């Protein structure tokens, strides 16, 4: 999925692990990812967590999308640091799921906690069907 995700690729995200119900994605923070206070823009932290969430909940041929998400920012980071998002499935019931994502910095300190709610559609991923 990440190979076709142009937004995540443009941000330099790297897949560290991709397993059913679990994913780890990292990203180095660049100067153009900081806000007016010279700290990592919250939208960048959210995007990293959201990408790990998307990978964790798309584990078969059905297209699963976000139904909603919340994030708590716990520590500021800066350009030059590497952030890692670890997403884990908490629960799946029918077509809905609940996933927790912990974002840490390179020292292991928690930067943010993200909770995502997924919805599995009745559509299948055409790229998976065609082998792309």
Mean pLDDT confidence for 86-103:
97
Q: Does residue 52 lie within any of the structural domains?
A: yes
Q: Does residue 130 lie within any of the structural domains?
A: no
pLDDT of res. 4: 83
DSSP string, 30-41: -GGGB-TTSSB-
59-85: pLDDT as tens digits: 888 899 999 999 999 999 999 999 999
Q: Which residues of 5-44 are buried (b: 16+ CB within 10 A; e: fewer)?
A: eeebeebebebeebeeebbbbbbebeeebbeeeebbeeeb
Mean pLDDT confidence for 110-126:
90
pLDDT of res. 61: 84
Q: Does residue 129 lie within any of the structural domains?
A: no
Q: Does residue 19 lie within any of the structural domains?
A: yes
pLDDT of res. 123: 81
Q: Does residue 85 lie within any of the structural domains?
A: yes
pLDDT of res. 65: 94
Structure tokens at 1: 């999925």
Under the banding of pLDDT at 50, 70 and 90, the label for residue 124 is confident
Give the sign of the dihedral formed by CA 107, CA 108, CA 111, CA 116.
Answer: positive
Task: Name the residue range of residue 33's domain.
Answer: 2-124
CATH of the domain at 37: 3.10.129.10
pTM for the predicted model, two decimal places: 0.92
Under the banding of pLDDT at 50, 70 and 90, the label for residue 3 is confident
pLDDT of res. 1: 65
Q: Which residue has the higher pLDDT, 113 or 2?
A: 113
As beta bridge partners, residue 89 has 99
Q: Does residue 112 lie within any of the structural domains?
A: yes
> 131: number of CA atoms within 13 Å, CB side?
0
Tally of structural domains, the chain? 1
Q: Does residue 88 lie within any of the structural domains?
A: yes
What average pLDDT does the structure give for the chain?
A: 93
Q: Does residue 131 lie within any of the structural domains?
A: no
């Amino acid at each position: 999925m990440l190979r076709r995700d142009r937004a995540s690729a443009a941000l330099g995200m790297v897949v560290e692990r991709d397993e059913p119900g679990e994913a780890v994605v990292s990203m180095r923070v660049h100067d153009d990812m900081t806000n007016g206070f010279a700290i990592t823009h919250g939208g960048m932290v959210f995007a990293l967590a959201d990408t790990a969430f998307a990978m964790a909940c798309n584990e078969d041929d059905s297209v699963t999308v976000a139904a909603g998400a919340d994030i708590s920012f716990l520590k500021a980071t800066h350009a030059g640091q590497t952030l890692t998002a670890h997403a884990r499935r908490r629960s799946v019931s029918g077509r809905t799921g609940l996933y927790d994502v912990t974002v840490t910095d390179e020292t292991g300190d928690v930067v943010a906690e993200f909770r995502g709610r997924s919805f599995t559609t009745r559509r299948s991923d055409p790229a998976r069907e065609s082998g792309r």
